[in-house]
Structure 1
């Protein structure tokens, strides 16, 4: 004997029912078969709606019933030949008339009891199963329809009736022992009380019906046919890369189904588990797919200790605590009695060993009744201060890891909580049973999708880690960065197991978002077609998307963008800053950003603030982390100024050389920041701060070589005035040449002091042979006393700066 159950989507319409018939016709070649059928997809909800409308005297219930009747009649007309339609059409019409008569009574009384509701919803399975049986007969397959209400006997708890297994098993065995047919069609979900009244087994109860029959008949297998190819590692609606589990144990299946996996109704497992009857989850629309086998013992075959990740939404926490609870027996008992008296189910329990507090998770829908019951039960203790007023927290969800093998593998919970914490998901409560088959964490409902994806990536995604990147700035450096990301996309996945998706891009005019990732082959067109740029909106959307492994890259020089970093870091969004404004603003803001990054497990990377793509800050941090102390820093930190003084010899005007540097992409958008020394001041201050010094811009001495008149007005005025001051610049050059030296704009930090200015460099100095746009930094430390640690290379240019930002994104991703 075998039992096959088909869900609502499997019998949603005539086409689907034909698929069911084809599966059944193949199955009966193997063994005697019982087919359990759900209502047509959506019909149960429609019946409940009709009853609810009738109860409030809303005559639109008649329209709902008319739609239900039409749907079933249409199915019969497609599935059964005209010559054989008469009897089944008549039967369906009679049942629909019965539903209408009952709803008319509800309408007149203005009352919908649980008993009446059971009677109304029972028609869904009764009619659908008759239609399936009629279609099988029309297709030449003899099938006997049997009313499950004559076999399954329950108590009178309408809506969720408890089965009397002694009577039910006897009825089923007696009926099938006397039957000679090979195929039986049975309505799921429905049963009857000992008084003969229609009862139901709870939403999803058709699975349970099938399990009841399988257990009573000692079936070889129970097949649950649905619209997915088995139980999965996570909800595929939340996790696109969720995988089908080929095999799981009964216990794992119960845990997963209890915690939100809708593939199978939770009570289904118990009857078949006691008989070790395998349950096979199969896909009606892909019958050749393997599906999932639920069985007694499962060898670890999928290479993972975790079987699945699931969740329950709309949870509320009730927290009872106070000094009067410590060492006093009975508090927990009174709490659970108060909730039980109101028929409130406790989903999760956690209590500290101090006995100072106890916390329970309940369905959010029962929150008002639960609070009233607990407040009443502990009114005296709350009034006298022995217990604090009940703390109520709605808007929560439970995420759970499930797996039999967790108990023999230490570190699973640490890995779980570490992964969640690194992505800024706060855990409100934790529960783990002694079986170690389930680890549950209560989190904010808004974080569920993020948390499940984080955990799935941590425990199941052996192929790659997904990084969700938001880029502000798509100009010279930004476009080079996007080009490098496109070029290295495949290499990153293959070599570093990283998949970087560009979720958002913004420039000064436009912004665009794409949850599937902006296409890097035509990002310019997508950005141009995007919405008008609004910085606050761009940041808020970045925050609200709440994606795992999020990184925000600022490839601008904009003050306003730099002021948004704190809002991003406090949402555990890592920040990569090419923009120097934040780290060179007030020390208080710089420290705040560093502290926020630590507090919220985010990364704050700004290597390109000093030396473009050179590893200056990284080298400095490595020195400090290894216990060294920085005593002095000397550096040429402006690629622009080095380019200018390497190329200026009086043949071209100083203004022309500066213009060339700007055209080749070496200067800041406003070249005066470079020429006036401001940019170098920022860089030496950042290095001093990273060395541990609390330095501000006004603390830095700037011996500028630029005439004050050049720094006034617009950028155009700046160039015009430089041309007028050519004699001044030529005199600086001639003086250095006469001394046999070169001009270099040097930054220095020593003994808590910092200074920048133009210097004459003799041929023996490390700075003398510094060509093109190169930067050089000399670190004098306790370990590097006489001979400094030198970092030298190209310190300006869009390509090298973009590569530095790219490297910081990779660091943030790890």
Structure 2
């Protein structure tokens, strides 16, 4: 004998009922089947709503009834074409009884628990009749048996208690000679006085469990709209997968904490006899589902699942007067029990100074009033404080039989939460070590579940969520590189990189599932108006784990937002030099915020585009070496300019070409004035451990006074044309000295300067070509032969590559 239960979601439409009957047909060919069904999806709520409207003398209850009638008649019409008179007459008769009951509620203005049970029973009675008739229409040897004739209860309406002695005998006697398929309405029963009762929440599961236990079947199958119990809520964690095997205790823990597939009390009869329970998906019957049995016997990992429960309030009773005084806990929980307030979570400090407990948010106000009243004397004498309450909280929990004695689970859990700025308000772990629970803000639940799932179930795969502002030339190349490398990152580096938000100066666009990078320009054009605060607010609101803000602008205003991102544990990757070359206090603040909030602050592209200059320097410092001197050509744009400028060219034209190729900043005055190079050497000095500001750097400019005083970029270019003779003289003087012009940055003995220099033959800078950069680090370990980093130091592609490398580096934190 097989016992199958189908929930409301499984019988919510003609298509789904057809799938249910297909499953029953297949099973009934191999043995006798008992099928327990819930009401058609949504009907129980509609019945209760109609009853409430009738009670309130609201005549629209009739419209609600008409909708209920229409749903059931439509199902018959779609599933049993040309249904015989008996089917339609029965339905109309039952619906007529329902209408009379609603009319009675309306007339006498009363809806007792007893009447409510009678009202809600119509859902299961109607659905079980329809499914039976559909099965008969398919040629299955089927019969409907009214569960009210089998299950006997007391008269505790809306949540009746079962008389198992009588009920079990009824079930066994009836099924001694059963049809191939017997359909039972779930949820409904009758009292020993013959009154209609219901079994309360999860009543259909309860009916199936009662029948399975009475018949002592090999397993109980519960069919729903998901493929079993998942490692986490699949609506919140896209990577969640069904769990193949769970122990009873694991399943009960997961169900208690938000996995709504089972309601633990309703399957107790099956659990008492250790009958395995198989959770299956009506929509995907081929899926394995989840088997729940005495022991899971799984060796797949220490944690079986991660779950949560929302709308929690955390109440704290504390005070010095509690220490060493017995009876406080008893009084506290006694008053909560008297008010029928269920306690979900408990923790107490070992000092006995405080007791913290979690309850449903809806019970919080009553709990505060009741507890304060109970301890009125102690509060008035200041032995304890009035109850403190926090709302808008959730509980997240790790569950698993194999967590016991498995070292490091708690550390791994709280490390994952901490890295993602999820603040834990309270912690509880039982001595069984099968559940570790933490109270967090409700807004952080999705991020927390994903972070924990990534840590415990996705093994080596790490998800990075990127928000990019400044999608111009470099930004365009970065997005192209990300799109090109996504598959490689996932397969080879186990990194799932998603761009969640993009912005330029006009528009910004976000997609919680990740932006389609093949079509990002169109999406951006259709986005909302851009704002720096709006971009931050949206990134914060999405609240994604491992979030990274990427700044590809030259904007001071954008750089001033870094601290706000870091404080939210959002890493910052920047090619914008302004922040790191601003006042030393601001630079140090950003570095400290990065440490405090465990968010990376990376800016490799500040100095040499894609060259590993800062990385090399950081490794030197980290190893205990001390940088004493730096000599460098740090401007790829200026190197390009002076490598292409000669007596046959015009300085104005070469600068124009450099800007066109993307080697200069949007305002080339930043490059040619030496400010850009000064910022770079300042950053290297600071990263070497020296405290300096921009004004400490000597800037020997090669530009004329007219160049430096130009008001606009156009004026600047005009002045370059007018001062061509000045630039030709610089070139001629270098040639006369058998030298090359290079714009050099120097740092030595705590002092720095930048300026145009004539570099003689034989010097490492002499043959520096194109837009290349070069940096020479002298240190205690490298006093004579420096460490040299050389390569392309400008250009959209290499800058994008440097940003990309920093983004990947975040994944290693």
Q: Secondary structure at the match of 2:518?
A: coil
Q: Secondary structure at the match of 2:517?
A: coil
Matches within 5 A, 1:141-180: 141-177=140-176, 179-180=177-178
Structure 1 window deviating more from structure 2 (335-344 vs 520-529): it is 520-529
Q: Distance in 1 between matches of 2:751 and 2:57?
A: 84
**1:4 corresponds to:** 4
The answer to whether the aligner puts 1:416 opposite 2:443 as a matched pair is no
The offset of 1:156, in angstroms, is: 4.2
The answer to whether the aligner puts 1:500 opposite 2:497 as a matched pair is yes
CA distance 1:198–1:797, shift in 2 (3 Å): same
The answer to whether the aligner puts 1:347 opposite 2:326 as a matched pair is no
Q: Secondary structure at the match of 1:470?
A: strand
Q: Secondary structure at the match of 1:353?
A: coil
The answer to whether the aligner puts 1:558 opposite 2:555 as a matched pair is yes
Q: Distance in 1 between matches of 2:429 and 2:29?
A: 46
**1:695 corresponds to:** 692
The offset of 1:103, in angstroms, is: 3.1
**2:458 corresponds to:** 461
**1:482 corresponds to:** 479
CA distance 1:764–1:7, shift in 2 (3 Å): same
The offset of 1:538, in angstroms, is: 2.4
2:542 to 529, 542, 545: 545
Q: Distance in 1 between matches of 2:494 and 2:745?
A: 40
The answer to whether the aligner puts 1:471 opposite 2:468 as a matched pair is yes
Whether the 8 Å CA contact 1:81–1:138 is kept in 2: the answer is: no
1:603 to 591, 600, 603: 600
Q: Distance in 2 between matches of 1:597 and 1:198?
A: 65
Q: Distance in 1 between matches of 2:113 and 2:419?
A: 47
2:716 to 715, 718, 741: 718
**1:230 corresponds to:** 228
Unaligned residue ranges in structure 2 (runs of 5+): none
Q: Distance in 1 between matches of 2:112 and 2:323?
A: 44
Q: Distance in 1 between matches of 2:178 and 2:738?
A: 114
**2:781 corresponds to:** 783
2:616 to 584, 604, 619: 619
The offset of 1:378, in angstroms, is: 1.8
**1:15 corresponds to:** 15
The answer to whether the aligner puts 1:378 opposite 2:375 as a matched pair is yes
**TM score, norm. by length of structure 1:** 0.95
CA distance 1:337–1:156, shift in 2 (3 Å): farther
Q: Distance in 1 between matches of 2:728 and 2:397?
A: 73
Whether the 8 Å CA contact 2:202–2:266 is kept in 1: the answer is: no
Q: Secondary structure at the match of 2:212?
A: helix
The offset of 1:683, in angstroms, is: 1.0
**2:320 corresponds to:** 323
**1:104 corresponds to:** 103
**1:74 corresponds to:** 74
For each residue in 1:302-326, what CA deviation from the matched residue of structure 2 results, as whole angstroms up to 9, or x when unmatched? x232222221111111112221222
Q: Distance in 2 between matches of 1:83 and 1:226?
A: 28
Whether the 8 Å CA contact 1:224–1:281 is kept in 2: the answer is: yes
The offset of 1:543, in angstroms, is: 1.8
For each residue in 1:8-51, what CA deviation from the matched residue of structure 2 results, as whole angstroms up to 9, or x when unmatched? 12222333323322322332333333221100110011111112
Whether the 8 Å CA contact 1:205–1:265 is kept in 2: the answer is: no
Matches within 5 A, 1:180-329: 180-300=178-298, 303-329=300-326
Q: Distance in 2 between matches of 1:656 and 1:807?
A: 33
Whether the 8 Å CA contact 2:229–2:243 is kept in 1: the answer is: yes
Structure 1 window deviating more from structure 2 (196-205 vs 625-634): it is 196-205
The answer to whether the aligner puts 1:632 opposite 2:629 as a matched pair is yes
Q: Distance in 2 between matches of 1:445 and 1:21?
A: 41
Measured on the aligned residues, the alpha-carbon RMSD in Å equals 2.2
CA distance 1:530–1:189, shift in 2 (3 Å): same
Q: Secondary structure at the match of 1:521?
A: helix
CA distance 1:123–1:547, shift in 2 (3 Å): same
Q: Secondary structure at the match of 2:391?
A: strand
Q: Distance in 2 between matches of 1:777 and 1:143?
A: 85
Whether the 8 Å CA contact 1:610–1:616 is kept in 2: the answer is: yes
Q: Secondary structure at the match of 1:26?
A: helix
CA distance 1:65–1:495, shift in 2 (3 Å): same
**2:582 corresponds to:** 585
The offset of 1:110, in angstroms, is: 4.3
Q: Distance in 1 between matches of 2:212 and 2:109?
A: 41
Q: Secondary structure at the match of 2:344?
A: strand
Q: Distance in 1 between matches of 2:396 and 2:203?
A: 24
Unaligned residue ranges in structure 1 (runs of 5+): none
Whether the 8 Å CA contact 1:231–1:292 is kept in 2: the answer is: yes
For each residue in 1:41-73, what CA deviation from the matched residue of structure 2 results, as whole angstroms up to 9, or x when unmatched? 100111111122223222211211121122223
Q: Distance in 1 between matches of 2:322 and 2:689?
A: 48
**TM score, norm. by length of structure 2:** 0.95
The answer to whether the aligner puts 1:389 opposite 2:386 as a matched pair is yes
Q: Distance in 1 between matches of 2:695 and 2:99?
A: 85
The offset of 1:274, in angstroms, is: 2.2
Matches within 5 A, 1:493-532: 493-532=490-529
Q: Distance in 1 between matches of 2:630 and 2:338?
A: 73
Q: Secondary structure at the match of 2:579?
A: coil
The offset of 1:327, in angstroms, is: 1.6
**1:93 corresponds to:** 92
Q: Distance in 1 between matches of 2:244 and 2:46?
A: 35
**1:428 corresponds to:** 425
The offset of 1:664, in angstroms, is: 2.1
For each residue in 1:332-389, what CA deviation from the matched residue of structure 2 results, as whole angstroms up to 9, or x when unmatched? 2222111111111111111222222111111111111111111112222222222222
Q: Secondary structure at the match of 2:492?
A: helix
Q: Distance in 1 between matches of 2:649 and 2:380?
A: 88
Q: Distance in 1 between matches of 2:425 and 2:778?
A: 48
Q: Secondary structure at the match of 1:10?
A: helix
CA distance 1:364–1:113, shift in 2 (3 Å): farther
CA distance 1:44–1:651, shift in 2 (3 Å): same
Q: Distance in 2 between matches of 1:85 and 1:266?
A: 42
Structure 1 window deviating more from structure 2 (643-652 vs 785-794): it is 643-652
Whether the 8 Å CA contact 1:613–1:803 is kept in 2: the answer is: yes
Aligned length: 811
CA distance 1:607–1:111, shift in 2 (3 Å): farther
Whether the 8 Å CA contact 1:260–1:312 is kept in 2: the answer is: yes
The offset of 1:559, in angstroms, is: 1.8
The offset of 1:410, in angstroms, is: 1.7
For each residue in 1:606-636, what CA deviation from the matched residue of structure 2 results, as whole angstroms up to 9, or x when unmatched? 1000111111111111112112222222222
**1:43 corresponds to:** 43
Matches within 5 A, 1:670-681: 670-681=667-678
Whether the 8 Å CA contact 2:634–2:775 is kept in 1: the answer is: yes
**1:656 corresponds to:** 653
Q: Distance in 2 between matches of 1:731 and 1:14?
A: 89
Whether the 8 Å CA contact 2:32–2:178 is kept in 1: the answer is: no
Structure 1 window deviating more from structure 2 (589-598 vs 327-336): it is 589-598
For each residue in 1:437-466, what CA deviation from the matched residue of structure 2 results, as whole angstroms up to 9, or x when unmatched? 222222111111222122222222247322
